[in-house]
Amino acid sequence: MIEGDEMRYHLEIYGIDYDDWSIDFGTFSDHTKVMLEDYISDATSCTETSAASDTNEFIFPFHIKKKYFIEGIILGQITLASSEATSHVTSYRVTVCKTNDNTDTNTELFTTGWVTVDDDLSWDAAYSIGEERVYAFWIDAWDYVELGEYDRMFIRIETNADNNCVLWHSNDSNFNDLYIDIPLRL
């Protein structure tokens, strides 16, 4: 018996928040936070940070093909920083989800679970600079998930942090502040 091709296509995507562009799909309405395969022009109007204490969701707004599967090791990183005062972070969770345009439902596919940390991120008032912390993560997506033509992926980032903490998602090709690598079987 001959096994099928086990090679994966790795979808490397980066989070940004457009100021003047939005998407409507499934449960997302007038949504500006997206994951893209490449950074766009530095001149593009984007919001660099969001409150880390909010649930932040970034949709991948494109179809990959009519049917594809997520399977393998999902890798990525998020960046949290202090803003305006010293911040404290106690945990974070990253989840890969899907939304469906026909049924208007969201489904969690894979998650890191809650990762416990105990980090103080300092704030330098003299220079108005906050300490940044990059949290790398991986998710073992052993049980493959199928996505069809009416599904789109999105990334949900949740943190337990005080109100002075921000999630970075700048449009900066020199620093991957919000990045994820998703293995796909096509």
Per-residue pLDDT tens over the stretch 123-148: 999 999 999 999 999 999 988 899 99
Could you tell me the domains of the chain?
10-185 (2.60.120.260)
pLDDT in tens, 22-58: 999 989 999 999 999 999 888 889 999 999 999 999 9
Q: What are phi and psi of 158, to 5 degrees?
A: -125, 140
Q: Confidence band (pLDDT; 50, 70, 90) for 7?
A: confident
Residue 2 has pLDDT above 50, yes or no: no
pLDDT in tens, 17-26: 999 889 999 8
Average pLDDT taken over every residue of the chain: 93
Res 5: pLDDT: 58
Residue 152, beta-bridge partner list: 99
Res 88: pLDDT: 96
Residue 1 has pLDDT above 50, yes or no: no
